[in-house]
Amino acid sequence: MKAKNAILGLSAAALGLGGCTGNMNSTHATLSTKADTAAYYMGYMNGSQLQQMGLEGIDMEVLVAGMNAGLQKAEAPADMMQMNMYVRQYLSELQQERAKAAEERGKAFLAENAKKDGVKTTESGLQYKIEKQGEGEIPADTSVVSVHYRGTLIDGTEFDSSYKRNKPTEFPVNRVIAGWTEALKMMPVGSKWTLYIPSNLAYGPRGAGQLIGPNETLIFEVELLGIVPPQDKKAEK
């Protein structure tokens, strides 16, 4: 797992932090040589990975002290295997805690959301609100559809948008997350719905990408533009 491996490779970043003194929150450095530039880049990349892992709250002085100790070949607090296992265990526990917290936030959000006007809840737990009801054909399980969409977390963080790309997306109805498949098979072409998808109908405990963590409840604005005719699909091949 990249996230777990990132912290184990942080010693490389010590090239740029080994002589670091003063304000640990500084984001600037004088890059007067190629070595300085390479060191800063390594530090930046590792810092970005830590941020993506949700470790932005770690004590930088402790982190730098550990890297300096390694560079200076100071006595290790444990052997490499023990330290590796400890870090992996810590990251695993952290991920589990965050997954549980995300699941609880999602359940609380959906419970309140279900009370709002216009929000409907299906047997599976999918919630949707009809913003605009179309009058066209309803897709089948194997239909290929053309949609515009915008996806956010329940805190409003946007993780994807076909609107921003200014290009609709096409895909088979049965090749997306379960919440989408269920909704699309109820939507007439021309409809625009807001979907509130519990984690078990989305990406579940595995999450997706950098922004969708484990057990996240997702919100999608979905506009069903059309069903791609079979002849168009053959022409694309």
Paired tokens of 191: 């409809």
- Per-residue pLDDT tens digits for 24-68: 455 667 888 999 889 888 888 888 877 777 666 678 788 888 888
Answer yes or no: 40 catalytic: no
List, in order of start, the domains of the chain with CATH numbers.
Answer: 2-71 (no CATH), 118-236 (3.10.50.40)
To the query of whether residue 117 is one of the catalytic residues in this protein, the response is: no
Catalytic residue flag (residue 149): yes
Q: What is the pLDDT of residues 67-118, one digit of tens each?
A: 888 888 898 899 999 999 998 898 888 889 999 999 999 999 999 999 999 9
Does residue 163 carry a catalytic annotation?
no
- Using DSSP's 3-state secondary structure scheme, residue 229 falls into coil
> Binning pLDDT at 50, 70 and 90, where does residue 209 land?
confident
Angstrom distance (rounded) from CA 109 to CA 154: 8
Cα angle: 185, vertex 190, 191; to 5 degrees = 60
Burial 54-79 (b: 16+ CB within 10 A, else e): ebeeeebeebbebbeeeeeeeeeeee
Q: What is the pLDDT of residue 7?
A: 40
Q: What is the pLDDT of residue 71?
A: 82
User: Sign of the CA dihedral 87, 92, 97, 101?
Assistant: positive
Tens digits of residue pLDDT in 159-207 = 999 999 999 999 999 999 999 999 999 999 999 999 999 999 999 999 9
Instruction: Name the catalytic one among 160, 196, 212, 227.
Output: 160
pLDDT more than 90, % of the chain: 59
Residues 159, 69: Cα–Cα separation, whole Å = 39
Instruction: Exactly one of 149, 196, 219, 227 is catalytic; name it.
Output: 149
Query: Which listed residue (128, 203, 219, 227) is catalytic?
Result: 203
Q: Tell me the β-bridge partners of 102.
A: none
Band (pLDDT 50/70/90 cuts) for residue 156 is very high
- Determine the distance from the C-alpha atom of residue 152 to the mean position of all C-alpha atoms in its chain, rounded to a whole number: 10
